[in-house]
Amino acid sequence: MSEESPKAAIGPLDIKRVMAALPHRYPMLLVDRVEQIVPDQSITAIKAVSMNEEFFQGHFPGRPIMPGVLQVEALAQAAGVLAVESLGLAGSGKLVYFMSIDGVKFRKPVEPGCLLRLEVEFIQKRSRVCKFAGRAMLDGEIATECEFTAMIADPPAS
């Protein structure tokens, strides 16, 4: 009786490989690089938070903070890369849609100049629906955490 061996970790992935996995583009692409993917298990990615981000113009003048919803979006995009790469769908045009977000907690403000470390792991994986746990880390401390569910879908017909 043989056990299935775990898939080897891959990474780092540059921005070109991230863009092959995700349809997002500026200003909505919120994953700058992937440090490591353990297929079918987890991903560690980076979002370099820059003062040049458009949302800092109004959130908040004099005290720029990355909106929490965009922190969750960055985690979801990292999860999208994990799902697409784990399922061998990179370059296929498949989309990963949010279905639910649960238990989100914001623990530290994310400011310009930060490197936001995005850590996401599969909780459950089915053919089209996946559940994830994610944490956005700043200097080893949790800034944001949540669980979310996403669906893998075909792109709209053109």
Report the alpha-carbon distance of residue 60 to residue 62 in Å, rounded: 6
**Of 24, 33, 59, 108, catalytic:** 59
Q: In the block, which residue shows the tokens 């070109």? A: 16
Domain boundaries, the chain: 15-153
| Tens digit of each residue's pLDDT (9 = 90 or more) over 64-88 | 999 999 999 999 999 999 999 998 8
24 as an active site residue: the answer is no
Mean pLDDT calculated for residue range 5-16: 86
Q: Which two tokens stand for residue 108?
A: 């530290």
pTM: 0.93
Q: Are 143 and 106 in contact (CB under 8 A)?
A: yes
Look at domain 15-153 and name its CATH class.
alpha beta
State the pairing for strand pair 115-125/95-106: unpaired
Report the alpha-carbon distance of residue 58 to residue 118 in Å, rounded: 24
